[in-house]
Chains A and B, each alone.
Chain A
Amino acid sequence: MAQASRQRGGTVMRHLVLYLGAALFLFPFYYMLVGSLKKDPETSLRGLLPTGLTLDNYSQINGRVDLLQSLINSGIFTGGVILGTLVLGVLAGYALARLHFRGQGTLFAVMLLVQIIPFQLLIIPIYVMIVRTYGLADSYLGMIVPFAINSTAVFIFRQFFLQLPEDLFSAARLDGAGELRILWSIALPLVRPALLTAVLLTFIGPWNEFLWPFLVTKESDMQPLAVSLANYISNIAGRASNPYGAILAGAVVLAAPAVALFVAFQRHFTSSDLGSGVKG
Chain B
Amino acid sequence: MSTVQSAQKTRRPRRAALLGRHPVGILLAAPYAVFLAAIFAYPLGLAVWISFHDYFFAAPTATVDRPFVGFENYTAVLSDPEVRQSFLNVSKFLIINVPLTVALSLVLATALNSAIRGRTFLRISYYVPYVTASVALVGVWLFLFSSGGLVNEVLGPLAPDPSWLVNSGLAMPVIAVFVTWKQLGFFILLYLAALQAVPKELYESASMDGASAVRSFWHVTVPGVRQATTVVVILAIITGANLFTEPYLLTNGGGPNGASTSPVLLMYQKGIEQGSPDTASAIGVILVIGVLLISLVNRKLLERD
Cβ-based interface call for A72 (8 A) = no
Q: Are A47 and B29 in contact (CB under 8 A)?
A: no
Cβ-based interface call for A104 (8 A) = yes
Cβ-based interface call for A170 (8 A) = yes
Bound-complex Cα distance A20 to B252 (A):
31
Mark each residue of chain A from 120 to 164: 1 if its CB lies under 8 Å from any CB of chain B, else 0: 111111111100110100000000011011010010000000000
Bound-complex Cα distance A96 to B28 (A):
9
Cβ-based interface call for A89 (8 A) = yes
Cβ-based interface call for B74 (8 A) = no
Cβ-based interface call for B264 (8 A) = yes
| Interchain CB contact (< 8 A) of B284 among A120, A135, A208 | A120
Cβ-based interface call for A229 (8 A) = yes
Bound-complex Cα distance A37 to B205 (A):
55
Contacts of A178 in B (CB 8 A): 24
Q: Quick one: which of B216-252 are within 8 Å of A by CB? A: 228, 231, 234, 238, 241-242, 244-245, 248-249, 252
Q: Are A170 and B4 in contact (CB under 8 A)?
A: yes
Q: Are B2 and A170 in contact (CB under 8 A)?
A: yes
Query: Which of B29, B47, B111, B253 has the most chain A CB atoms inside 10 A of its CB?
Result: B29
Residue ID in chain B nearest A233 by CB atoms:
B249
Bound-complex Cα distance A255 to B135 (A):
9
| Interchain CB contact (< 8 A) of B234 among A116, A180, A274 | A116
**SS class of chain A's interface: helix, strand, loop or mixed?**
helix
Residue ID in chain B nearest A127 by CB atoms:
B272
Known: A25-B181, A43-B149. A251 touches B135 (CB 8 A): yes
Q: Are A95 and B264 in contact (CB under 8 A)?
A: no
Cβ-based interface call for A68 (8 A) = no
Q: Are A226 and B128 in contact (CB under 8 A)?
A: no
Residue ID in chain B nearest A252 by CB atoms:
B136
Q: Are A43 and B189 in contact (CB under 8 A)?
A: no
Q: Are A118 and B112 in contact (CB under 8 A)?
A: no
Bound-complex Cα distance A97 to B130 (A):
30
Bound-complex Cα distance A117 to B234 (A):
11
Bound-complex Cα distance A244 to B192 (A):
37
Count residues of B near A (Cβ-Cβ below 8 Å): 107
Query: Which of B111, B139, B149 has the most chain A CB atoms inside 10 A of its CB?
Result: B139
Bound-complex Cα distance A124 to B133 (A):
23
Bound-complex Cα distance A47 to B288 (A):
44
Q: Are A129 and B133 in contact (CB under 8 A)?
A: no
Q: Are B121 and A22 in contact (CB under 8 A)?
A: yes
Q: Are B140 and A251 in contact (CB under 8 A)?
A: yes
Q: Are A125 and B281 in contact (CB under 8 A)?
A: yes
| Interchain CB contact (< 8 A) of A28 among B4, B133, B140, B287 | B140
Min C-beta distance of A135 to chain B, whole Å:
7
| Interchain CB contact (< 8 A) of B277 among A121, A124, A148, A267 | A124
Min C-beta distance of A254 to chain B, whole Å:
4
Bound-complex Cα distance A92 to B28 (A):
6
Q: Are A120 and B33 in contact (CB under 8 A)?
A: no
Cβ-based interface call for B204 (8 A) = no
Contacts of A267 in B (CB 8 A): 120
Q: Are B114 and A14 in contact (CB under 8 A)?
A: yes
Q: Are B136 and A255 in contact (CB under 8 A)?
A: yes
Q: Quick one: which of B133-172 are within 8 Å of A by CB? A: 133-144, 146, 148-150, 152-154
Mark each residue of chain A from 24 to 57: 1 if its CB lies under 8 Å from any CB of chain B, else 0: 0110110110010000010111011000000000
Bound-complex Cα distance A237 to B250 (A):
11
Cβ-based interface call for A91 (8 A) = yes
Bound-complex Cα distance A100 to B16 (A):
9
Known: A114-B40, A116-B234, A210-B245. A248 touches B193 (CB 8 A): no
7 A-B pairs closest in CB distance: A275-B193, A99-B25, A101-B25, A101-B20, A92-B32, A22-B125, A208-B133
Query: Can you add 19 more A-B contacts, CB < 8 Å, to A121-B287, A129-B42, A278-B228?
Result: A14-B111, A22-B125, A43-B146, A101-B20, A107-B33, A120-B264, A122-B39, A123-B267, A127-B277, A128-B57, A149-B36, A170-B4, A170-B5, A204-B130, A229-B139, A248-B143, A251-B135, A255-B133, A259-B131
Pairs across A and B, CB under 8 Å, 14 listed: A18-B116, A31-B140, A31-B143, A43-B146, A92-B28, A103-B26, A117-B40, A120-B264, A125-B42, A211-B264, A215-B268, A234-B253, A247-B139, A255-B137
